[in-house]
Amino acid sequence: MNVKIFEYRTILACSIDEAWSFFSTPSNIKFITKFPPIVDVSESRQGDLAIHFGYSFYSYEWHATLKNNPECYSFTDIAVKPPYPFTFWRHDHRFETFQSRTVMVDTMTVESKWPSMFLRFFFNRMFRSREKQMKKIQLAY
**Tens digit of pLDDT for each residue in 117-139?**
999 999 999 999 999 999 999 99
Verify cis geometry, omega within 30 degrees of 0, for the bond prior to 37: no
Bridge partners of 101?
A: 98
Q: Per the domain annotation, does 20 fall within a domain?
A: yes
CATH of the domain at 110: 3.30.530.20
Residue 46 lies in a domain: no
| 41 band by pLDDT with thresholds 50, 70 and 90 | very high
Q: What would the DSSP string read from start to end of 14-58?
A: S-HHHHHHHHTSGGGHHHH-TTTTEEEEEE-TTSEEEEEEE-SS-
- Examine residue 121 and state whether it is found in any structural domain, yes or no: yes
130 within a domain of the structure (yes/no): yes
What whole-number percentage of the chain has pLDDT above 90? 82
Please indicate, yes or no, if residue 39 is contained in any of the structural domains: no
pTM recorded for the entire structure: 0.91
- Looking at the structure of the chain, the number of domains it has is 1
Residue 132 domain flag: yes
Residue 105 lies in a domain: yes
pLDDT tens-digit series, residues 51-94: 999 888 888 999 999 999 999 999 999 999 898 899 999 999 99
Q: Roughly how many angstroms between the first and final C-alpha of the chain, as a whole number?
A: 37
Let me know if residue 57 belongs to a domain.
no
pLDDT digits (tens, 9 = 90+) for 93-123: 999 999 999 999 999 999 999 999 999 999 9
Residue 1 in this model has a pLDDT that exceeds 80 = no
**Residue range of the domain that includes 130:** 3-34+67-136
